[in-house]
Each structure stands twice: as structure tokens, then as C-alpha cells.
Amino acid sequence: MSSRVLCFVSLLLCIFPAIAFALHLPLTLTHFDANDPSRDPYQILSYLASSSLARAHHLKNPQITATATSDATTTTPLFSHSYGGYSISLSFGTPPQILPFVMDTSSDFVWFPCTHRYVCKNCSFSPSSDQNVTIPSFIPKLSSSSRLVGCRNPKCSWVHHTNKTQCDECRNSLTPQNCTQACPPYFLLYGPGTTAGVALSETLNLGDRTVSNFLVGCSIFSSRQPAGIAGFGRGLPSLPTQLKLHKFSYCLISHRFDDSPSSSTLILDSTSDMDRKTNGLIYTPFIKNPIVRGKEAFQVYYYVGLRKITVGGRRVKVPRKFLSPGKNGNGGTIVDSGSTFTFMAREIFEPLAVEFVKQVKNYSRARDVEVLTGLRPCFDVKDMGKPVELPELRLHFKGGAEIALPLENYFAVVGEGVACLTVVTDGDVGGGKAVVGHSGPAIVLGSFQMQNYYVEYDLGNQRLGLKPQLCI
């Protein structure tokens, strides 16, 4: 694949000759075609469980990016999608070109599909289809503000997370200050997905405001990435850092609105009132990120202090070492908008599942559905005329914050009345043998568990705010 990437890059190179604000953007979910014969609820759950597990594997075992050789508040719609992500629309270029981006709080780079030659393999929105789809791309030739990032530009090191980029032309030049070599191509991994391209300096248009010299990736090849990605994690190239945000917040609409016109709101806020608390929110502090050589991606995540988990009021026996990240980067809890179902290390998941099975007396196990979906435990809850009753799942955080999840946030009802716990662990999906391992975060809180919650990332005060709220 590297030769193909280099080929695209060589074609791409021929194409080119700090504000304060708050932005409100729509945040949306992607819906399987109701007329699609492959729309099987068990298959969909299995797909989401598999993708959540693959995502957890990537987050726990990240690979380093490789090279081929004024006070205001702004909002934007946030849409939900059937592949598990939430997307926003951003406008780049002069004149503006509008493209969808998946919001990802566990990565720190912003990139879009780019040029007429953009290729995306296995990018169908349907997990059962091998057909490629047409994805809107940014066309640099149509923007007067598009510039390739040079090798000597400090932002080149942001892309590659190193100060030692492969700038041979600049290093060997007698006049390096006049070097015109472009920043080397990037190659990024997102669990099962990949993307590759070159770095651009472009204008980001936010309502009536413009942000010049915004670092963005021009991807010309991708695999299993059905849209560009807006990295909201901790890091120099992330959208919050480049926009100097003090906080951002969102409310994730239910996945039952996948791919519909329904949306909630993403708020980007750079107001200077640092100590201001949002009414109704409970806060828990961000935990210091582990610094591990070779696992620099851990520094991008948002770690929170999960103290304990209770099921039906009973404390789940979780080994303490899994609740806080150690010096080796193992353990701890992160919040990840890019994961659908929550991942838990097996040492946490097993006592959790046992506690549910122990407390659920009024429903029988649906083991056949567990095999089909890769989720467990599943219970046969069909009993016409009676509401489903299952034990409460409550998360307790440092600082006294705790959330009692609504039942629909941790059990999915499928088929003819079968409810499955929407938490995954290593080796479970489809009866497979995949093992995520003990490295990295022990718990990845996914978006399914955060549905209909208002979530605020208070970057100025290093804390996460939460409150239940109907998002639509």
C-alpha cells in the first residue's frame, strides 16, 4: 500500500503552485437502509461490537504516525451514524467547501478526503456490503488559500509528533533557510481504518469568522474511514488546541436517530470566564495522562477517575490497579466519542457480567443471541404488557460525580424481545479469539453509554462535566 500512497502523493504535489470565539455546530448520527435485506438486528449489533473492540485495541495499542519516506460561542449540528460515530460539518477553503467530519475525542488531527483522485476502500456505510461509496472531497485547486505545509514549518512536527521529520532536501541544502521541500506524507491508523495524505495550511470558516493557516490533512487514500475526522483530543494539531478553546461540549442524540435529519448541538467555547460552571453539571477532574515512550497517543486521551461501578446498588469487585493509569500506561478510564460500545478489560467485565446474571432472576439467558451478536449477557425479556426491569448500572467518579445510566444506555433490545448488555471485552465478539491485552486504558467509555447526556470538556479547569438531558 505504501507504493500506492507515494503514487497518490506525487500526483497531489503537482496540484499546488488566534481568535476568541464560541461556535455552535449540529452534531449528527448513519442509518442502515430500511429496505436493505441485510438489515438484520443481530448482525448490526455484532458489527458494532466488533468495531468497538477493534477501536479499543487501537486505543490500547496505538502505533506512532508513520511517514512514507473575541469572546463568543458558536454551535454546530451534531449528527449520529450507524457506523457508531457522530459527525459535524466544517467549512474549509476560499471560497468555502463544506464537508462532514467524524468527531473523535481520542485523536488530535483534522483531515478531510482530498482531490478528485481520492480513493476510499471498504468505506460502505453498511457492514454487510463490500461496495465502495462516493465520498465528498475537498478540491485544493478550487481554493485560493490552500498551501502545502513546508518541511521547515513547525506544524510539520505536529503532524508526525516528532521534531525529526525526514527533510533530506532541507538538511543537505547549502541554504536550508530557503528550502522548499514539503512536509513528508502522513499515514494514520484508526483501529481497522487507515488514511494517508499530505499536510495543508488552509482557511477554516466558522460562521462569519475565519481562521487562517489552520493545519489540516489532505488525505488521498483511506480504508474503512467513511468520512474525514476532526480530532478533538489533547494535542497541538487538534481542533480545540488550534482554536484555543477553553471548553467544548455536546449532547449525543440517541442512536435510534442514526442517519436521520435529527441532530443535537456541539458547542465550541473560548470565553474567558475560566471559573464559570455550567448550571446542573456535576464535575470530575481529568486525570494526568501517562507518559510512555512509544505510546505517545496516550497523552491525547481524556482520562477520568472512575472510582467504582455498582450494579443494582452492589459494588462490582474491580482490581484497584485497573482503575488508575500506572507509569507503564496500563489501566485507567478514558472517554471516547469514537467508540460505540464501552470496552472493559476482562478483569473488570467478568465480575460485572456475573453481577448482572446473579441479580436477574425474572428473565432467562438468551445464549443463542449471545453467539450471534458477540454481546453478553443477553436475556429473553419478551413479556407483553410488562416493562423491562433490569438492575441499575451506576458509575462513580472522583470528585463525587456519579451517573446512573438509563436502561437504554447499557442494554439494547433486539429481535423479538432480547436485551443484551452493550459492553465488550477482549475475545468475546462472534466467539473469536481476539485479545486486546492489558496495555493502555482498562475502560473506554463509548458513545452508546453517553446517549442523552450533556458532556462538557472544561479544558481551562481540566475537568469533565456531565448531566442527563434529552438531546432532541
Q: What is the pLDDT along the chain (472 residues), one digit of tens a residue?
A: 344 444 444 444 444 443 344 567 777 764 433 334 346 788 888 888 988 888 898 888 886 544 443 445 777 777 777 666 788 999 999 999 999 999 999 999 999 999 999 999 988 644 444 445 678 999 999 999 999 999 889 999 999 877 665 566 566 555 556 677 889 999 998 877 899 999 999 999 988 889 999 999 999 999 988 789 999 999 999 999 999 999 999 998 887 656 667 788 899 988 766 667 888 899 999 999 988 888 888 999 999 999 999 999 999 999 999 999 998 899 999 999 989 999 999 999 999 999 999 999 999 999 999 999 999 999 999 876 688 899 999 999 999 999 999 999 999 988 779 999 999 998 765 444 444 556 899 999 999 999 999 999 999 999 999 999 988 7
Question: Which class does domain 73-163+180-269 fall in?
Answer: mainly beta
pLDDT of residue 174: 55
Residue from 108, 336, 426, 458 carrying the catalytic annotation: 336
Radius of gyration of the chain from Cα atoms? 22
pTM, two decimals, is 0.86
If phi > 0 it is left, if psi is from -120 to 50 it is alpha, else beta; for residue 290 that is: beta
Q: Determine contact, residues 215/201, Cβ cutoff 8 Å.
A: yes
Question: Which class does domain 48-61+275-468 fall in?
Answer: mainly beta
Nearest to 86 by CA among 253, 202, 246: 253
State the Cα–Cα distance between residues 344 and 48, nearest whole angstrom. 15
State the Cα–Cα distance between residues 38 and 128, nearest whole angstrom. 7
Sign of the C-alpha dihedral computed for residues 319, 433, 226 and 407 taken in this order: negative
Q: Give yes or no: 336 in active site.
A: yes
Q: Which residues contact 52 (CB under 8 A, 6 or more apart)?
A: 84, 339, 340, 341, 342, 343, 424, 446
Q: Do domains 48-61+275-468 and 73-163+180-269 have the same CATH topology?
A: yes
pLDDT of residue 258: 64
Q: Which residues contact 284 (CB under 8 A, 6 or more apart)?
A: 304, 305, 397, 398, 399, 401, 463, 464, 466
Torsion angle defined by CA atoms of residues 452, 458, 463 and 466, in that order, rounded to the nearest 10 degrees? -20
Domain extents for the chain?
A: 48-61+275-468, 73-163+180-269
State the Cα–Cα distance between residues 120 and 118, nearest whole angstrom. 7
Taking residue 409's Cβ as centre, other Cβ atoms within 10 Å add up to 21
- Beta pairing class for 333-335 and 303-304: antiparallel
Burial of 374 (0-12, 13-18, 19+ CB in 10 A): buried
Q: Determine contact, residues 300/345, Cβ cutoff 8 Å.
A: no
CB contact burial 317-333 (16+ within 10 A = b; e otherwise): ebeeebbbbeeebbbbb
- Beta pairing class for 264-269 and 22-28: antiparallel
End-to-end CA gap in the chain: 43
Q: Determine contact, residues 325/331, Cβ cutoff 8 Å.
A: yes
Torsion angle defined by CA atoms of residues 80, 81, 87 and 88, in that order, rounded to the nearest 10 degrees? -60
How many contiguous H segments (helices) and E segments (strands) does the chain have? 7, 31
Q: Retrieve residue 349's grid coordinates.
A: 467485565
Q: Give yes or no: 104 in active site.
A: yes
Sign of the C-alpha dihedral computed for residues 367, 369, 373 and 377 taken in this order: negative
Secondary structure of residue 181 in the 3-state scheme: coil
